[in-house]
Amino acid sequence: MKSIVVLISGSGSNLQAIIDACNSGAIPGKVNAVIANKADAYGLVRASEAGISTQVLSHKAYQDRDSYDLALIDAIDQYQPDLVVLAGFMRILTPAFVQHYSGRLLNIHPSLLPKYQGLNTYQRAIDAKDTEHGCSVHFVTEQLDGGPVILQAKVPLFSDDDVASLAERVHEQEHQIYPLVVRWFCQNRLQQRADQAWLDGNVLAANGYANDDED
Ligand SMILES: Nc1nc2c(c(=O)[nH]1)N[C@@H](CN(C=O)c1ccc(C(=O)N[C@@H](CCC(=O)O)C(=O)O)cc1)CN2
Ligand SMILES: NCC(=O)N[C@@H]1O[C@H](COP(=O)([O-])[O-])[C@@H](O)[C@H]1O
């Protein structure tokens, strides 16, 4: 049973999807802690209701990014994680943090990377009059949103979309692919499945993701 720590800053709908997948047995792992940098993150409520330990570590209480990240490492390592999951965690992490969790630090980003790294991806895609958008699960590296992509999901972008309608469509796919990638990691199949997903075209159908064959 792998130990998972999830970092959040907001609603926690991806956290909820991962909790649910752990509770159903789809993920052979357990979320042992949820840590937020914002006290009002609703994901803390989700975690508490699921009986999961929570902690708020505000970046505002630290003079600089380095000292915050060292405190964050101390908080996380109490739980001896096999995997650290960023689920809407809105802080840029230092090289020291990224190196400490190298190979076991994931993020989900609301675009088809490498398009639209950074923030405000929905509005940028709408402004560009793109016809498709999506989300990407990737390893976290020092390069912001530049880490190796593991799995993506694509959705159509309609001319009458606004940020809310596009975000809703992308979130549906996020809640599919993030638990799937976490499952692969916990099954020690991440590289094999990621390679296969890439061979299968990596970017998945707009109406869902390829079936994850049982072992
Ligand atoms: N070193 C890395 N850190 C983080 C990565 C990464 O790939 N490498 N991914 C991000 C997640 N992310 C987009 O997916 C992202 C999060 C936050 C920001 C950002 O500009 N944050 C500002 C504060 C913004 C705010 O508080 O609302 C900041 O940290 O100053 C950009 C992209 C997680 N970290
Ligand atoms: N750049 C990072 C970023 O924008 N991440 C995005 O934050 C949202 C968190 O939602 P949630 O709190 O409901 O899981 C998700 O849509 C995720 O892609």
DSSP per-residue string spanning 90-138: -SPPPHHHHHHTTTSEEEEESSSTTTT-SS-HHHHHHHTT-SEEEEEEE
* Residue 37 CB burial class (10 angstroms; 0-12, 13-18, ≥19): buried
Which residue among 101, 128, 159 closes a domain?
A: 101
From atom 8 of ligand 2, which residue's Cα is the shortest distance away? Answer: 88
Is the ipTM value over 0.85, yes or no?
yes
Polymer length of the chain = 215
Same domain, 122 and 208: yes
Residue 213 has pLDDT above 60, yes or no: no
CATH classification at residue 14: 3.40.50.170
Annotated catalytic residues are 109
The pLDDT of residue 195: 76
Q: Is the CB of 10 under 6 A from ligand 2?
A: yes
Same domain, 52 and 127: no
Same domain, 54 and 77: yes
Same domain, 82 and 150: no
How many structural domains compose the chain?
2
Same domain, 85 and 132: no
Using alpha carbons, select from 13, 18, 57 the residue that is nearest to residue 179: 18
Q: How confident is the model at residue 74 (pLDDT cuts 50, 70, 90)?
A: very high
Same domain, 114 and 85: no
Distance 215 CA to ligand 2 centre (A): 30
Q: How confident is the model at residue 193 (pLDDT cuts 50, 70, 90)?
A: confident
Name the residue range of residue 115's domain. 108-215
From atom 6 of ligand 2, which residue's Cα is the shortest distance away? Answer: 88
Same domain, 13 and 78: yes
Mean per-residue pLDDT of the chain: 92
Same domain, 91 and 120: no
Predicted TM-score (pTM) of the model is 0.94
> Could you report the per-residue pLDDT of 8-43, keeping only the tens digit for each?
999 999 999 999 999 999 999 999 999 999 999 999
